[in-house]
Amino acid sequence: MTIQIGQKAPDFSLFDTERKKVSLADFKGKNVLILFYPQAFSSTCTAELCTVRDDIARYNNANAEVLGISVDSVFTLKRYKEEQGYNFPLLSDFNKEVSAAYDSLYENWILEMKGVSKRSAFIVDKEGIIQYVELVETKDGVPDFEAINKKLESLN
């Protein structure tokens, strides 16, 4: 299923690094930036998430919650979050269901890995409607944070 602007965002519940369930519905009334990324500790993923970490005030000021999602285990994500000092939740989609629901799952990735989250960005508004969709098709590409920030500013 292809996610499109204007549709209701698929709801989900995933475990965070503290092994607590986090649901998209928990953030009703806030904008949510969902960032899917392939793997913890990889260089491009780390650079992408560090960019968000270092600019978290912008997202807080936009009444936006940031959620990072990968198919890594909660244990791997906990270590990754601690080492990098991420100041937003990292969620484990170990079963790959949410990545698939958001059309953000590689069938085949590098080193013959199958079922890895595709780097992508979605903005869900305060009412749960998709307002921004970006699927990054290159291995070393990252989402267009300038466009993301403009969209978030326009939602307030």
| Band of residue 110 on the pLDDT scale cut at 50, 70, 90 | low
Candidate list 32, 33, 40, 45, residue with the active-site label: 45
Has 45 been annotated as catalytic?
Answer: yes
pLDDT in tens, 24-53: 999 999 999 999 999 899 889 999 999 999
- Mean pLDDT value across residues 135-155: 91
Q: pLDDT at residue 57 above 80?
A: yes
Query: What domains does the chain contain, in order, with CATH numbers?
Result: 28-154 (3.40.30.10)
Structure tokens of 116?
């890895």
